[in-house]
């Protein structure tokens, strides 16, 4: 929030009764900011359908109105520990109509003023209720494991596919011939592309290792930290990967005209991982000798 928020006033209610009322502030003298993520575990509910209401006021100037009010609500799931995420977003800050002292200079883009029960979510007024079916199981690593377009809630096990392509993803057939080419900086590479789902879109690392199955000769690994792009069928893709046969200065020539096993492993920030191997054949000649 750019140092604008001085405190968070958090109120939790169960079936309308306040069970927690806290003012969350940065430690005195701290330059780190708020102790985020903040979480609170609630005891088992009185009934199977007990309702939980969360209200968070973001305080800037204590003598002024809150910068924004974030509401959220759901119901307990009996016998399970579920997580209700309440993200606080800077695009929901309600700024004054004009900046102080100069009405001719436009101020920052203000968030909407929502009237309860609506609340600001992703910059627009929306209803705050979250159906229990959309609550995810609680896990200690929840801050780094938020759902996204590539890893939705309840998406299942990670899946990874290895293909090729400089400007888009193309599937690979077993034994398909790939032609190496000279790169702009002197190396010699083949084009690799990957397709995955149920792994994080951003922050995931893609590691590639090539092994010649006949001799065991190994190409040193290449590790990338590029974000994935949404693709069809719930998948996300990464293409245009130059995988150097002469990585770290090894000779590329012994790999020409030979089979190569390309092992790709994708690991996301939450520790979820998936691996897949493409069995290809490297052409005996370069595309651009």
Q: What is the pLDDT of residue 33?
A: 62
| Mean predicted confidence (pLDDT) in 105-124 | 81
Q: What is the pLDDT of residue 147?
A: 86
As a CATH number, domain 159-282 is 2.60.40.1930
- Paired tokens of 253: 């020539």
With bands split at pLDDT 50, 70 and 90, how would you rate the model's confidence at 208?
very high
Q: Which residues have C-beta within 8 Å of that of residue 136, sequence separation ≥ 6?
A: 82, 83, 142, 147, 153, 154
| Mean predicted confidence (pLDDT) in 237-257 | 95
Hey, where are the domains in the chain? Answer: 7-138, 159-282
With bands split at pLDDT 50, 70 and 90, how would you rate the model's confidence at 183?
confident
Pick 158 or 107 by higher pLDDT.
Answer: 158
- The three-state (H, E, C) secondary structure of the chain, written as one string: CCCCCCEEEEEEEECCEEEEEEEECCCCCCCCCCCCCCCCCCCCCCCCCCEEEEEEEEECCCCCCCCEEEEEEEECCCCCCEECCCCCCHHHCCCCCCCCCCCCCCCCCCCCCCCCCCEEECCEEECCECCHHHCEECCCCHHHCCCCCCCCCCCCCCEEEEEECCCCCEECCCCEEECCEECCCCCEEEEEEEEEECCCCCCCEEEEEEECCCCCCEEEEEEECCCCEECHHHCEEEEEEEEECCHHHCCCHHHCCCEEEEEEEEECCCCCEEEEEEEEEECCCCCCC
pLDDT tens by residue, 156-182: 999 999 999 999 999 999 999 999 999
- Paired tokens of 250: 């090894």
């Amino acid at each position: 929030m750019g140092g604008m928020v001085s405190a968070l006033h958090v109120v939790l209610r169960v079936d309308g009764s306040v069970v927690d009322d806290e003012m969350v502030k940065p430690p005195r003298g701290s330059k780190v900011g708020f102790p985020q993520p903040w979480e609170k575990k609630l005891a088992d509910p009185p009934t199977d359908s007990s309702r939980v209401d969360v209200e968070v006021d973001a305080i800037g100037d204590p003598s002024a109105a809150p910068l924004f009010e974030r509401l959220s609500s759901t119901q307990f799931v009996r016998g399970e520990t579920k997580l209700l995420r309440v993200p606080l977003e800077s695009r929901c800050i309600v700024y004054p109509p004009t900046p102080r002292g100069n009405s001719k200079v436009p101020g920052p883009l203000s968030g909407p003023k929502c009237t309860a029960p609506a609340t600001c979510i992703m910059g627009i007024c929306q209803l705050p209720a979250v159906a229990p079916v959309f609550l995810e199981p609680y896990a200690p690593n929840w801050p780094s494991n938020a759902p996204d377009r590539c890893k939705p809630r309840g998406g299942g096990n990670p899946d990874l596919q290895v293909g090729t392509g400089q400007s888009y993803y193309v599937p690979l057939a077993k034994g398909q011939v790939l032609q190496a080419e000279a790169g702009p900086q002197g190396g010699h590479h083949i084009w690799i592309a990957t397709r995955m789902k149920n792994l994080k879109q951003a922050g995931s690392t893609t590691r590639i290792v090539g092994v010649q199955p006949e001799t065991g000769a190994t190409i040193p690994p290449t590790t990338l930290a590029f974000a994935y792009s949404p693709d069809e069928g719930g998948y996300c893709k990464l293409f245009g990967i130059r995988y150097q046969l002469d990585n770290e200065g090894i000779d590329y020539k012994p790999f020409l005209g030979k089979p190569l096993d390309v092992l790709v492993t994708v690991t996301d920030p939450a520790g979820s991982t998936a691996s897949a191997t493409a069995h290809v054949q490297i052409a005996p000649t370069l595309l651009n000798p």
